[in-house]
Amino acid sequence: MHHWTWIVPVLSCAVLGVALALGAGPALLVACAVGLIGSVLASVHHAEVVAHRVGEPLGTLVLAVAVTVIEASLILSMMLARGPDAPVLARDTIFSAVMIICNGVVGLCLLVGGIRHREQSFRVEGAGAGLAALIALSGLTLVLPTFTTTTPSGTYSTSQLEFASVASLALWGAYVFVQTVRHRDYFLPVADPANPEVHAAPPSLGRTFASLGLLLASLVAVVGLAKMLSPAIERGLSAAGAPKAVMGVAIALLVLLPETWAAVRAARANRLQTSMNLAIGSVLASIGLTIPVVAFASIVLKLPLVLGLEPKDLVMLTMTFLVGTVTLGTGRTNVMQGAVHLVLFAAFLFLALVP
């Protein structure tokens, strides 16, 4: 048993409580950063314990939904603060999540897995269904607002926002139903006798519930500590003269650390199906759950909300989906595909800094 994975979430939550009570001075900021990294590692461990008990693909869904719910809460809290960047924060964070997962996480998994195992395989039926849902969700929430004419460019009217929210929830719900009930076999990895985890005894029910509680505590610590660190990050970005969109990138990078680490570990262990389930499931949850939350807040609280992407970002999104269609079209991957996705990810980061 890894005792540190039980201690770190508790200590991180304690550091968060102290920082909230006393304010984040230089020493506490360092402690917050250390606690953030420790909580990320602990959350991955506990997610894997839960996943081993409930099995695939439900196990990967646990981490994806938990992270996304807290991500939505973080975006909402920053929108309620009504800062100057609040109207575009949800858009920038969701777009960043799509780019980070579809290019950064997928590219890193394919590269690491390809270097270690030469070629890897996954079920193209499940990945293709997820990609189709992702293209539709991204188009409805991030692309169409740029071209609608009822309200100024980049925004939706109230009725359009309501439709996009219902459509997002419906598509995400349909994907989860297909993933966990109707076509569960599309998301199951091929059994590998050489993988010791295939034959390892599942954890006890008590340990599973303990890990589930510690997973939630770890994720609360991750997002809470990220929020404590965000003012310092924002000041650093302002001092460096970075564009406003970089804040959304920073939030998405921090929040997606647990899923990234879990996906790369799975690819390195030749469980690419688990990596794909995590990546596609988390990006779909990021849109399908976050858009309804921020849309509801925008309508009820009269908060300004800009969802439409800029032309540069529309081009990046189009290239990502075109390359993703090729990558997920055969069910087999190698280092070349990983390199292409990572180059697109590097272009996304570079253009966020130098628009």
CATH at residue 254: 1.20.1420.30
Asked if residue 315 is part of any domain, the answer here is yes
Asked if residue 45 is part of any domain, the answer here is no
Q: Which amino acid is at 106?
A: V
**Torsion sign (Cα): 132, 343, 272, 218:** negative
Asked if residue 141 is part of any domain, the answer here is yes
Supply the pLDDT for residue 95. 94
Residue 126 token pair: 């499940």
Query: Low-confidence residues of the chain, pLDDT below 50?
Result: 1, 193-199
Asked if residue 203 is part of any domain, the answer here is no
The phi, psi pair for 333, rounded to 5°, reads -135, 160
47, 263 in Cβ contact below 8 A?
no
Supply the pLDDT for residue 87. 85
Domain that holds residue 63: 57-193+243-353
91, 309 in Cβ contact below 8 A?
yes
Instruction: Give ∠ CA 304-306-309 in degrees, rounded to 5.
Output: 175
Supply the pLDDT for residue 59. 66
> How high does pLDDT run on average in the chain?
84
Terminal-to-terminal C-alpha distance of the chain? 48
Which residues have CB under 8 Å from 35's CB, separation 6+?
Answer: 8, 11, 12, 15, 16, 221, 225
Instruction: Give the burial class of 107: count Cβ atoms within 10 A of its Cβ; 0-12 exposed, 13-18 middle, 19 or more buried.
Output: buried
Asked if residue 73 is part of any domain, the answer here is yes
Supply the pLDDT for residue 200. 55
Supply the pLDDT for residue 79. 74
Cis previous bond, 87, omega within 30? no
Asked if residue 38 is part of any domain, the answer here is no
Asked if residue 312 is part of any domain, the answer here is yes
The phi, psi pair for 120, rounded to 5°, reads -135, 160
102, 276 in Cβ contact below 8 A?
no
Burial 224-260 (b: 16+ CB within 10 A, else e): bbbbbbbeebbeebeeeebeebbbbbbbbbbbbbbbb
Model pTM above 0.85: no
Number of domains in the chain: 1
Asked if residue 281 is part of any domain, the answer here is yes
